[in-house]
A and B are shown apart, each in its own frame.
Chain A
């Protein structure tokens, strides 16, 4: 069992942690710098002393049972310096092999340039060996890359190692000494930056930036992105930070794919009329100027329509999910041009959306490339899309009038039932978070909805069932809501705990069993024979089961069972 390492915060596979080490507490991710530290760790691997460190041979096959050690070392990792494929296999293999609350140490590989990717993949400890090797090979390092001494024509840096030194005039030996100090500091600075980004939940953005001008690192990121399950299992369901989709790799972010898959697999089937709208820069969409104008124009007709927004990189966002991550906070470079890749993905998502639902008619109030996308998705399915925008702006009065007329016509033709749009948000969010049919279990036919957009709450005969929370805009169940959900979906999104009355936080050590589908920040139900509680997960369900340390669920309400 691990005793000395504890993960304190997560951002996908990356973690912040604490390692109690020779009477001091190190925060991770961290670079081991002194020979003394390296030696200390090495001795441990030999003597299995205080910290139980285990050397994992970086072999292709790593399918033996889990290693339960405080520090797991990816032995010989240096050999993957220019081998992103091998590195991907080895990193993920070691991470899967190691207990989730083991620190993963990758020796002699980290540079300021690649360390963000290593941490992104789940590495906790690195060292400054490569930074020193590179100094002796004649390189200055910073996060953007490396430069040979000869290429340094101006003062490279203002860190205190470089302070005042005129690099160009120094002898090779002096430059090595300086660069070795500088490189170590650059690595340290980068690690601090990484830790900050993990805190903010923006490590992915940093990583995408770092690999931009480095083909091996870009290859590494792409190969890591192929490991969807590994990262999805570790990705939080919400973030407060804005998802910035600035590169081709952004399209492959696990939360984007997960969102798309949940829209298809979890939401209730819809019928009637579908209105497709373009996305907007301002989120949630309904707060944007364009959406406010269009929606005001439709006014009461909205209650008979289903709305969905076409957007890159997410694909299709049903109106009701506009308030949840990543649809609620993402940003992309807007040029009015779509890359083939973006087009194809959105077409794919839209055609899936159209074929899983049973819309009788589809109206598209979109212009330009978006228009072709709608047709490309609908045509193969034999669906005819009615366009209400010709060559004009989507806000032109002619197009808006056309939209109103078409919508009125459709509604008259198929006379769909009136819906409370506020309930749409709650129902879809329930299914999106808790799986198919969750909303049927939690809510009655027509619950009473109150509150202001988007923090609605629903009740049934005076009993509060669920609320959309303010900060993350997830659907939080009340105990009553949880009871109803449990009746239909026993075990799902549930954390079984030992026989005690939980207060505040449930720790991983007290968890007996947890639904492996639980992700960080999921709303979960905590149960044992005595009580039922609801709260927010702090780690993934599989991690709660495997971990012995750290908080598992932050509780909201506890009640006797």
Chain B
């Protein structure tokens, strides 16, 4: 019954990509405080979501799983964005070790985030141990990176690589850039002593559970040399996306939480992989059978901070089903075996 009830609820439109926690909401802005890893220490963090005119790629083409563009505002100017930022700071203060500024697009895109606003925000945060911004790789150029270092040095740039497999990225995610582009961006960032975080997408559409699992494992191996942190994003069903269309037709199922556990467990030696299962346990989010979801979500979050696979202790009867799905899903020719 509970599962059915939850199925009717949608994920909050504006979801945190990294850490959920307390949430303050004013008319147009989101921000929340949480905990994150900084040099192997767990420190307080603040996540700020700024409404901009939206992702340049989403306006032109768009990724198959991304629905964040719904919340953009085509008229957002630099001064509006600065105002949003100041309101958040006024509310939360600066007592954090990490600040994440997400625009649901590219922070380094000067068209989306005018230079004045960008510099103002970054210089305001001078002295913060780490400022994390997100960007598509085409904006992470040596010039822009050098430009930014002048205002703030402790930058981490987070890039949505999704997968190291160009075929999957371009055909199934429709991301519009190559692994090579990511590597160049990463080099430019590192050259300016930024740190780099790469987002990996567990289970893009059109993959079976096993293919998705193997793709994520391979992507961790491939991306690890070029990124300081890897963040495993468990694909969820966002409004207005192709993934949602497929999901409604019964042709897509978000990943099993067990698959995420498997990726984290098996890549522990390879890289620092963190994961926040957005919408974990919901029909639209990564889920297991419904009985063990809550426990496994907590363990995944725990692991993200501890990086210790001893976090994973849960077991459930549905693991046999998950194993069967891994083995047999390819024989359904396109539909998930289990909703």
Contacts and interface: CB of A to CB of B under 8 A. Distances in A.
A9 interface: no
Contact of B320 (A76, A83, A127, A136): A136
Contacts of B336: 78-79
A129 B333 contact: no
B317 A138 contact: yes
B115 interface: no
Contacts of A73: 333
A395 to B, nearest CB: 60
Contacts of A38: 328, 331
A132 B328 contact: yes
B292 to A, nearest CB: 13
Given A108-B337, A129-B337, A133-B338, A173 B332 contact: no
Contacts of B318: 136
Interface string B306-332: 000000000001101100110110111
Contacts, number: 67
A129 B334 CA distance: 14
B335 A76 contact: yes
A473 B306 CA distance: 82
B327 A108 contact: no
B321 A83 contact: no
A42 interface: yes
A512 B328 CA distance: 44
A55 interface: yes
A77 B335 contact: yes
B297 to A, nearest CB: 21
A127 B331 contact: yes
Contacts of A129: 328, 331-332, 337
A181 to B, nearest CB: 14
A172 B317 contact: yes
B330 A42 contact: yes
Contacts of B327: 35
A133 B250 contact: no
Contacts of A133: 321, 324-325, 337-338
A75 B333 contact: yes
B251 interface: yes
Nearest to A180: B324
Contacts of A78: 250, 332, 335-337
> Interface residues of B toward A: which range?
20 to 34
Contacts of B250: 76, 78-81, 83
Contacts of A172: 317
> Interface residues of A toward B: which range?
20 to 34
Interface in A66-101: 73, 75-81, 83
In this complex, the member of B321, B328, B333 whose beta carbon has the largest number of chain A beta carbons within 10 angstroms is B333
Interface string B48-60: 0000000000000
A176 interface: yes
A108 B335 contact: yes
B22 interface: no
Given A76-B251, A78-B337, A79-B250, A35 B328 contact: yes
A108 B336 CA distance: 10
Given A35-B327, A83-B250, A133-B338, A107 B320 contact: no
A80 B333 CA distance: 13
A525 B81 CA distance: 84
Contacts of A108: 328, 331-332, 335, 337
A79 B331 contact: no
B150 interface: no
Given A129-B337, A172-B317, 4 more contacts: A76-B251, A76-B334, A78-B337, A136-B318
3 closest A-B pairs by beta carbon, nearest first, are: A79-B250, A76-B334, A75-B333
Interface of A: 35, 38-39, 42, 45, 55, 57, 73, 75-81, 83, 107-108, 127, 129-130, 132-133, 136-138, 172-173, 176
13 contacts: A38-B331, A42-B331, A57-B334, A76-B250, A76-B332, A78-B250, A80-B250, A108-B332, A108-B337, A129-B331, A133-B338, A136-B321, A137-B321
